[in-house]
Amino acid sequence: MPIRLGTSAPNFQAQTTKGPIDFHQFIGNSWVVLFSHPADFTPVCTTELGEVARRQSDFDSRGVKLIGLSANKLEDHNKWIADINEINNVDLSFPIIADYERKVSALYDMLDYQDITNVDTAGVPFTVRSVFVVDPKKTIRLILSYPASTGRNFDELVRVIDSLQLGDKHRITTPANWRKGDDVIVHPSVTNEEAEKLFPGFKTVKPYLRLAKSPF
């Protein structure tokens, strides 16, 4: 079954730098960000892992667990983490999946079919820079895929998580370029009478566009 927004995150077992995991057990009752990397000891990936480690507290404060993936062996991961910590002046603490056989990569459709040079010595494709945000119900809420050549914007990832979590708690959506604390959009399913109780003083721009102060 293809992975789409709203589908259940496929379960798997894997070896990681923090020991063996069952993915659904790892999720537990938390939000999770699963993100893949083309290979260990590569320049863009090293900056990305360092950035995520630096921002660990941003994810912790939102109740989000982190787990990386790279198509290399466990011993390579452990050596690479030492480089990541040294280069970025961080202490990387989240697990990284050792997906040398590409089992998880194939399950989540993360293999690179665009760049014919993004392969290992056996000619097997490495992963692209995929991101999956999974909620506590094990439902996939966000899918992002970047080419191997382009590092990700983790400000955007945190922004989307804020929007998703806020929308789950309140009957709202968020407008273009929304940031935490900005005005939100009253969900179309909310009547004006309900909106007066939920969002006192909301503003009607058009009948289909009603703005309210952020519930944050």
Round the CA-based radius of gyration of the chain to a whole number and report it.
19
The helix (H) or strand (E) run that includes residue 32 is strand 31-37
Active-site residue 213, yes or no? Answer: no
Query: Are 104 and 98 in contact, with CB atoms under 8 Å apart?
Result: no
Which of 45, 134, 166, 184 is the catalytic position? 45
Measure the CA–CA gap between 81 and 79, rounded to whole angstroms: 6
Measure the CA–CA gap between 197 and 182, rounded to whole angstroms: 20
- b/e per residue, 154-188, with b = 16+ CB within 10 A? beebbbbbbbbbbbeebbbebeeebeeeeebbbee
Q: Catalytic residue positions?
A: 45
